[in-house]
Chain A
Amino acid sequence: MSKPKVGVFGLAGCGGCQLEILNLEDELIDFICAVDIVHFTEAITEHSDTYDIALIEGSVSTKHDLERLEHIASVAKIIIAIGACSSTGGLNCLKNLYGTEKAKELVYGDKKDWIDAIDTKPIDAYVKVDYHARGCPPTRAEIVDIVKSLIMGKVPEIPDYPVCIECKRLGNICVYETGGTCMGPVARAGCNARCPSANSGCEACRGPVDDPNINAQKDLLDRYGLTVEDIMEGFNLYNACKKIEQKNK
């Protein structure tokens, strides 16, 4: 693929994922030279309706989000979900735990009917997503790597192993050693163990690995004195939209 046209879009989210692209610093110039950015909600005023690759941030949380997503999907040849909200539904999905109607009432009171909110879902609940640059925020290097790979015609190498691998490569002290808890053993790597490196437990913002050993994680957290509620909270923070279940164990 020679110099593809790229659109960067934001649905329901904080805008931080788009900001990560702008934060590319040293690589930003090379990045915008390698692709032709025709739409970038957060960065440029011009906008175009012709693009090959769509980088989409945010979850689908309103009817309007869904309309926009469907339109983007009808134009783009390749869709890359960037960030947790877009990939797993992210924090936005916590709303679903209350029930959308209840959540609307809690936040907007008697004006709740002004809001067209629907149950929050990741974008792959509606359209086919080719690649995910997961995480909250996603890693800049991974966004660049996916786009580079597409230009070169290579399947991007997105890790499907737990965060522990990255922690150990870095020589980190295990969070459990310091009295904390961590979702690392079941969470998908690719962030270079960002949180555990700062001695803060992983919250699985990149979602679980493909075949997580959930029972073992429950046993582990139980051993560290967490209750079932605590454990579910650990799973839910970024992953409330998709029930993570133990497979064939």
Chain B
Amino acid sequence: MLYKILDKKDFKDFVNNLISAYEVTAPKKISQALHDFFPIKSYEEMDLSYKRTTLPPAKKMLFPSNEALASYTVGNNIEVKSLNESKEQLLFGVGAWDINGMNFLDRIFSTDFIDENYMEKRKKLKVIGIDAEPSDANFASSVGSEFAKEGFDLFLSDIGDKYFVRIGTAAGAEIASKFGDFLDASDVDYSAYDRQMDLYKNKFNVNVNLDNFFENFEIVYGKKDLWEKLAKSCFSCGSCNLVCPTCFCFNVRDDIKIDLAGGIKSRQWDSCMISNYGLVAGGHNFRPDEANRLKQRYRCKLKTFVEKFGQYSCVGCGRCVEACLAKINIYEDINAVKEEVSI
């Protein structure tokens, strides 16, 4: 990996140069407490001091909530065409946990069968990360996703009057040479970066201990009372899933056009927390109650992909905690599992 520095006085020019060359999606303030990622037209629109964003930016850009997959005509001469919209884009100012979330989605959509609808968009996306401010519910450092090892072209860390820049890809090196005044990092910069990283780790307010979670989860798996207690206030509204950077469940639906001559096959974000998620034709529901669904969500986030890929599928961004109106909280529930075992 190459390391460079960018002086803060050159930062604005760098961003504006990017905007002139790419469709740049960056954090914008949308309410008192919230930001969200949108395409920007000028440096001034961007606000990097964000803490919370409604949706994970990479997920909404690469795996839109409603996406057409194919179009078809009906009748005796059926023609099916794949639909796949993608364009060159640049995602600016994304935090490490969201990059790690995207890396997870990359893996999902490229394992076994390759999902071209996702991968085309991914191939055309440039990513510039920053050490974003963790929100109050962010526990990324507890699941090891406060630092991005890969998945970005450039990654900027604030070391005072300059940014320390990690160049992750050849495309990143090209961006750096083309659009900004990047200089070689000096000894002082390297040690400033080390100091900054130590400070950064301490910015995460929430620390969750996941030691033995695997074993504990197995022990409490069959404890119906515990899961019913944890899920008691669940609305089955799916908010936790839809705001999650790594949740990727979707439905496929066919919509015929009103002229009845053809239609569209599309997919929509789905949620494993809603009541009909496990419903099959004939009426059997494999997961009819909230307690079961919540338990399954935690399994999927903290166990399934450790077994499959060797990693949690939870990146600790805390969005599910912030989005839940019933105040169901993944890290409190991790602790509840631990307590249940120690009783």
The distance from the CB of B252 to the nearest CB of chain A, in whole angstroms, is: 11
A30 touches B258 (CB 8 A): yes
A186 touches B60 (CB 8 A): no
The distance from the CB of A189 to the nearest CB of chain B, in whole angstroms, is: 9
Binding site secondary structure of chain A: helix
B260 touches A173 (CB 8 A): no
Contact with A along B31-45 (1 / 0, CB 8 A): 101101000000000
CB within 8 Å of A: which of B291-307? none
Contacts of B17 in A (CB 8 A): none
Of B30, B60, B269, B275, most buried by chain A (CB within 10 Å of CB) is B275
The distance from the CB of B258 to the nearest CB of chain A, in whole angstroms, is: 4
Whole-angstrom distance between the alpha carbons of A213 and B275 in the complex?
A: 12
Whole-angstrom distance between the alpha carbons of A178 and B32 in the complex?
A: 9
Whole-angstrom distance between the alpha carbons of A170 and B255 in the complex?
A: 20
**CB within 8 Å for A168 and B238 given contacts A173-B31, A185-B325:** yes
A198 contacts partner chain B, Cβ-Cβ < 8 Å: no
Contact of A220 among B34, B55, B238, B325 (CB under 8 A): B325
Interface segment among A9-17, A91-99, A154-162: the answer is A154-162
- The residue on A at minimum CB distance from B326 is A216
A160 touches B275 (CB 8 A): yes
B276 touches A162 (CB 8 A): no
A165 touches B34 (CB 8 A): no
Whole-angstrom distance between the alpha carbons of A210 and B279 in the complex?
A: 14
The distance from the CB of B79 to the nearest CB of chain A, in whole angstroms, is: 18
A177 touches B258 (CB 8 A): no
The distance from the CB of B131 to the nearest CB of chain A, in whole angstroms, is: 24
Contacts of B83 in A (CB 8 A): none
Contacts of A157 in B (CB 8 A): 253
Contact with B along A163-200 (1 / 0, CB 8 A): 01101111111101110000011100000000000000
Contact with A along B233-276 (1 / 0, CB 8 A): 11111110011000000000101111110000000110100111
B243 touches A34 (CB 8 A): no
Whole-angstrom distance between the alpha carbons of A52 and B34 in the complex?
A: 51
Contacts of A173 in B (CB 8 A): 30-31, 34, 54
The distance from the CB of B255 to the nearest CB of chain A, in whole angstroms, is: 8
- Number of A-B residue pairs, CB cutoff 8 Å, is 106
Contact with B along A128-171 (1 / 0, CB 8 A): 00000000000000001100100110000100111011011111
Whole-angstrom distance between the alpha carbons of A210 and B274 in the complex?
A: 11
A210 touches B237 (CB 8 A): no
B325 touches A161 (CB 8 A): no
Whole-angstrom distance between the alpha carbons of A182 and B85 in the complex?
A: 35
CB within 8 Å of A: which of B43-97? 54-55, 60, 65-66
Contact with B along A27-44 (1 / 0, CB 8 A): 100110110000000000
The distance from the CB of A61 to the nearest CB of chain B, in whole angstroms, is: 33
B233 touches A161 (CB 8 A): no
B275 touches A165 (CB 8 A): no
The distance from the CB of A95 to the nearest CB of chain B, in whole angstroms, is: 30
Contacts of B234 in A (CB 8 A): 213, 216
Whole-angstrom distance between the alpha carbons of A249 and B275 in the complex?
A: 14
**CB within 8 Å for A162 and B237 given contacts A171-B36, A174-B323, A177-B33:** yes
The distance from the CB of A184 to the nearest CB of chain B, in whole angstroms, is: 7
A161 touches B237 (CB 8 A): yes
Contact of B274 among A27, A161, A170, A212 (CB under 8 A): A161
Contacts of A30 in B (CB 8 A): 257-259
B34 touches A33 (CB 8 A): no
Whole-angstrom distance between the alpha carbons of A116 and B260 in the complex?
A: 44
Contacts of B66 in A (CB 8 A): 169
B242 touches A165 (CB 8 A): yes
The distance from the CB of B35 to the nearest CB of chain A, in whole angstroms, is: 10
Contacts of B232 in A (CB 8 A): 216, 249
Contacts of B233 in A (CB 8 A): 213, 215-216, 219
Contact of A213 among B236, B256, B269 (CB under 8 A): B236
Contacts of B326 in A (CB 8 A): 185, 213, 216, 219-220
- The residue on A at minimum CB distance from B269 is A169
A151 touches B239 (CB 8 A): no
The distance from the CB of A201 to the nearest CB of chain B, in whole angstroms, is: 12
A161 touches B238 (CB 8 A): yes
Closest 6 CB pairs of A and B: A168-B242, A164-B237, A169-B65, A185-B235, A162-B237, A216-B233
Interface residues of B (CB under 8 A from A): 30-31, 33-34, 36, 54-55, 60, 65-66, 232-239, 242-243, 253, 255-260, 268-269, 271, 274-276, 290, 323, 325-326
Can you list 26 A-B pairs with a CB-CB distance of less than 8 A? A30-B257, A33-B259, A148-B258, A152-B260, A161-B236, A161-B238, A162-B236, A162-B238, A165-B242, A168-B55, A168-B65, A168-B269, A169-B65, A169-B268, A171-B36, A171-B55, A173-B31, A185-B235, A185-B237, A211-B236, A213-B233, A213-B234, A213-B290, A215-B233, A216-B233, A219-B326
Starting from the known contacts A174-B325, A213-B233, 12 additional A-B residue pairs (CB-CB under 8 Å) come to: A148-B256, A160-B276, A168-B239, A168-B323, A171-B36, A171-B55, A173-B54, A177-B33, A209-B275, A213-B236, A219-B326, A220-B325
